[in-house]
């Protein structure tokens, strides 16, 4: 009797163990299924991807079979207008900010051609968040002006993904507009809607304040401080207002592909007078219904869908509201159709946020001459130490840790003939910036270094460090020398 019971339990245990083993086998299978399937989806034909400029998106993928999709994207560095009277040099994927919209499906094999226009000054690359692979493609796509790089990847995960440049200094490339969206449709496509649009937020940092006229250079310090002068949809103030507003008719369903390039700020995306019927949270599979404001992280996205019930002008904002009304994060959706007593009446004048009259323009930009620090005599060792700290905080992003620079973009400071030939010229460059063609160690550079907001003592320290490192000529730069150049 006893032994029978024992046997019974023993058998049960075995069955139990077997079941656990079976179950866990099953679970493993399940979790890897999606992934495996996408990898194994066959592609047979080739097709050139349709790319569109914001606010438009390519035609839906829907039910088409997986293909080899050729994406041809050209990087262009070009001048644009941030707001009327304010010029900015944008770095773009495809000539626009955000860059061209790419639309693909799970199972596609993308052959990506990244072209860097010969007139460009800098090398660039692309990191697509839709890629499973090192750097999201960044490592394989680093491309100098006048060159083209080709790499390919299998599209595995559905969703809405950000792409961006990841060339050092990464923050600067993103801040200049190098981001866009790539949509990966699931098997069978997305549910059809009447209108689809592409909108992407970005924050910009300029030497002048909001609205200060003229060509405005990128301001690294403001970017580091996350102190944005402009927060905009689609690259500049007013990109989607007035005549540029997106449109729909009463009763239509609208789908917005919303991205946030950053580089710094998180968006609280909201449409005044509308409720999002459906939000694909963070651009993924999770659906949230009846949402007022959805969070779009920097380097993230969301898909929002809603039916427009009444005519009117609907205002799209970052609900961090000073950004909307004082920094540009405002767009418009104009809905036409049957009048209705309960209409939302948007008595918004186009351009209320424009600089004319609405912004104090008399603010001076960073006054680099004003606060002259007390000149303390530092020992050579102290100058080297403080100089190195300053170098690592200020210059390293471009000239690199050992002063080697980046060929084609940032000239070397290590063993540099240009630097060693003329110390006053070097001081002048740090104080006032430098642009135009120069030749350093036999290689040509034609780019822009912005003026560095440093005190005379800091300039002396950092240059003493540079001159006494990496095989340079050991010049000891004093604050008096810097002051003399500053007063010239």
Give the interface with ligand HEC as residue ranges (CB under 6 A). Answer: 220, 394-395, 397-399, 410-413, 416, 418-419, 426, 429-430, 434-436, 438, 440, 445-449, 452, 462, 466
Per partner kind, with CB cut-offs from 5 to 8 A, the member of ligand HEC, Cu ion, none near residue 178 is Cu ion
Per partner kind, with CB cut-offs from 5 to 8 A, the member of Cu ion, ligand HEC, none near residue 124 is Cu ion
Per partner kind, with CB cut-offs from 5 to 8 A, the member of Cu ion, ligand HEC, none near residue 167 is Cu ion
- Residue 165 marked as a ligand binder: yes
Q: Provide the minimum distance between the beta carbon of 143 and Cu ion in the complex, in angstroms, as a whole number.
A: 9
Per partner kind, with CB cut-offs from 5 to 8 A, the member of Cu ion, ligand HEC, none near residue 236 is none
Q: Provide the minimum distance between the beta carbon of 379 and ligand HEC in the complex, in angstroms, as a whole number.
A: 21
- Residue 399 marked as a ligand binder: no
- Residue 147 marked as a ligand binder: no
Report the DSSP beta bridge partners of residue 143: 124
Q: Provide the minimum distance between the beta carbon of 114 and ligand HEC in the complex, in angstroms, as a whole number.
A: 22
- Residue 280 marked as a ligand binder: no
Per partner kind, with CB cut-offs from 5 to 8 A, the member of ligand HEC, Cu ion, none near residue 103 is none
- Residue 173 marked as a ligand binder: yes
- Whichever of 273 and 408 has its CB closer to Cu ion, that residue is 408
Q: Provide the minimum distance between the beta carbon of 178 and Cu ion in the complex, in angstroms, as a whole number.
A: 5
Query: Residue 391: which of 460, 444, 326, 342 has the closest Cα?
Result: 460
- Residue 240 marked as a ligand binder: no
- Whichever of 182 and 332 has its CB closer to Cu ion, that residue is 182
Q: Provide the minimum distance between the beta carbon of 246 and ligand HEC in the complex, in angstroms, as a whole number.
A: 35
- Whichever of 40 and 79 has its CB closer to ligand HEC, that residue is 79
Distance of alpha carbon 219 from alpha carbon 27, whole angstroms: 52
Residues making contact with Cu ion (CB under 5 A): 124, 165, 167, 173, 178
Determine the Cα angle at 240 with ends 234 and 71, to 5°: 40
Whether the ω angle into residue 98 lies within 30 degrees of 0, i.e. cis, is yes
Q: Provide the minimum distance between the beta carbon of 428 and ligand HEC in the complex, in angstroms, as a whole number.
A: 9
Per partner kind, with CB cut-offs from 5 to 8 A, the member of Cu ion, ligand HEC, none near residue 434 is ligand HEC
Distance of alpha carbon 143 from alpha carbon 138, whole angstroms: 10
Per partner kind, with CB cut-offs from 5 to 8 A, the member of Cu ion, ligand HEC, none near residue 355 is none
- Whichever of 320 and 415 has its CB closer to ligand HEC, that residue is 415
- Whichever of 220 and 329 has its CB closer to ligand HEC, that residue is 220
Q: Provide the minimum distance between the beta carbon of 399 and Cu ion in the complex, in angstroms, as a whole number.
A: 17
- Whichever of 136 and 177 has its CB closer to ligand HEC, that residue is 177
Q: Provide the minimum distance between the beta carbon of 113 and Cu ion in the complex, in angstroms, as a whole number.
A: 16
Distance of alpha carbon 411 from alpha carbon 193, whole angstroms: 51
Per partner kind, with CB cut-offs from 5 to 8 A, the member of ligand HEC, Cu ion, none near residue 438 is ligand HEC
Q: Provide the minimum distance between the beta carbon of 434 and ligand HEC in the complex, in angstroms, as a whole number.
A: 4
> What is the 3-class SS of the chain, one letter each residue?
CHHHHHHHHHHHHHHHHHHHHHHHHHHHHHHHHHHHHHHHCCCCCEEECCCECCCCCCCCCCCCCCCEEEEEEEEEEEEEEEECCEEEEEEEECCCCCCCEEEEECCCEEEEEEEECCCCCCCECCEECCCCCHHHHHHHHCECCCEEEEEEEECCCCEEEEEECCCCCHHHHHHCCCEEEEEEECCCCCCCCCEEEEEEEEEECECCCCCCCEECCECHHHHHCCCCCEEEECCCCCCCCHHHCEEEECCCEEEEEEEEEECCCCEEEEEECCCEEEEEHHHCCCEEEEECEEEECCCEEEEEEEECCCCEEEEEEECCHHHHHHCCCEEEEEEECCCCCCCCCCCCCCCCCCHHHHCCCCCCCCCCCCCCCCCCCCCHHHHHHHHHHHHHHHHHHHHCCCCCCECCCECCCCCCHHHHHCHHHHHHHHHHCEEEEEEECCEEEEEEECCCCCCHHHHHHHHHHHHCCCCCCCCCCCHHHHHHHHCC
- Whichever of 167 and 216 has its CB closer to Cu ion, that residue is 167
- Residue 319 marked as a ligand binder: yes
Per partner kind, with CB cut-offs from 5 to 8 A, the member of Cu ion, ligand HEC, none near residue 393 is none
Give binding residues as ranges.
124, 129, 164-165, 173, 178, 319
Give binding residues for Cu cation as ranges.
124, 129, 164-165, 173, 178, 319
């Amino acid at each position: 009797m006893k032994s029978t019971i024992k046997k019974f339990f023993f058998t049960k245990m075995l069955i139990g163990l077997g079941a656990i083993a079976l179950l866990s086998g099953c679970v493993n299978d399940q979790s890897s299924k999606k992934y495996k399937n996408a990898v194994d989806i066959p592609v047979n034909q080739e097709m050139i991807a349709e790319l569109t400029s914001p606010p438009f998106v390519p035609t839906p993928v829907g039910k088409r079979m997986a293909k080899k999709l050729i994406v041809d994207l050209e990087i262009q560095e070009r001048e644009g207008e941030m707001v009327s009277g304010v010029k900015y040099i944008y770095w773009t994927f495809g000539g626009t900010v955000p860059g061209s919209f790419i639309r693909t499906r799970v199972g596609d094999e993308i052959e990506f051609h990244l072209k860097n226009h010969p007139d460009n000054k800098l090398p660039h690359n692309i990191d697509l968040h839709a890629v499973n692979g090192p750097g999201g493609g960044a490592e394989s796509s680093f491309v100098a002006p006048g060159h083209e790089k080709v790499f390919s990847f299998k599209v595995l995960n559905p969703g809405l993904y950000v792409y961006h440049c990841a060339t050092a200094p990464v923050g600067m490339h993103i801040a200049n507009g190098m981001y866009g969206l790539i949509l990966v449709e699931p098997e069978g496509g997305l549910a059809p809607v009447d209108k689809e649009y592409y909108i992407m937020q970005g924050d910009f940092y300029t030497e002048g304040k909001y609205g200060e006229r003229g060509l405005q250079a990128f301001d690294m310090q403001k970017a580091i401080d996350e102190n944005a002068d402009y927060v905009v949809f689609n690259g500049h103030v007013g990109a989607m207002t007035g005549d540029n507003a997106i449109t729909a008719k009463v009763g239509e369903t609208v789908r917005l592909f919303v991205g946030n390039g950053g580089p710094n700020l998180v968006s609280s995306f909201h449409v005044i007078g509308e409720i999002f019927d459906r939000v694909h949270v963070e651009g993924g599979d999770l659906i949230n219904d009846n949402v007022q404001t959805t969070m779009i992280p920097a380097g993230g996205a969301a898909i929002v869908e809603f039916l427009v019930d009444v005519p009117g002008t609907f205002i799209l904002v970052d609900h961090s509201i000073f950004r909307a009304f004082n920094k540009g994060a405002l767009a418009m959706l104009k809905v036409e159709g049957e009048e209705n007593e309960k209409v939302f009446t948007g008595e918004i004048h186009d351009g209320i946020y424009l600089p004319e009259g609405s912004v104090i323009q008399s603010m001076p930009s960073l006054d680099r001459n004003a606060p002259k620090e007390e000149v303390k005599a530092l020992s050579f060792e102290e100058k080297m130490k403080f100089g190195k700290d300053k170098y690592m905080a200020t210059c390293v992003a471009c000239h690199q840790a050992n002063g080697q620079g980046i060929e084609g973009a940032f000239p070397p400071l290590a063993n540099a003939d240009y630097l060693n030939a003329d110390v006053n010229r070097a001081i002048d460059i740090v104080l006032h910036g430098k642009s135009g063609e120069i030749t350093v160690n036999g290689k040509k550079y034609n780019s822009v270094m912005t003026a560095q907001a440093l005190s005379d003592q800091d300039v002396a320290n950092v240059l003493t460090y540079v001159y006494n490192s990496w095989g340079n000529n050991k010049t000891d730069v004093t604050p008096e020398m810097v002051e003399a150049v500053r007063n010239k």
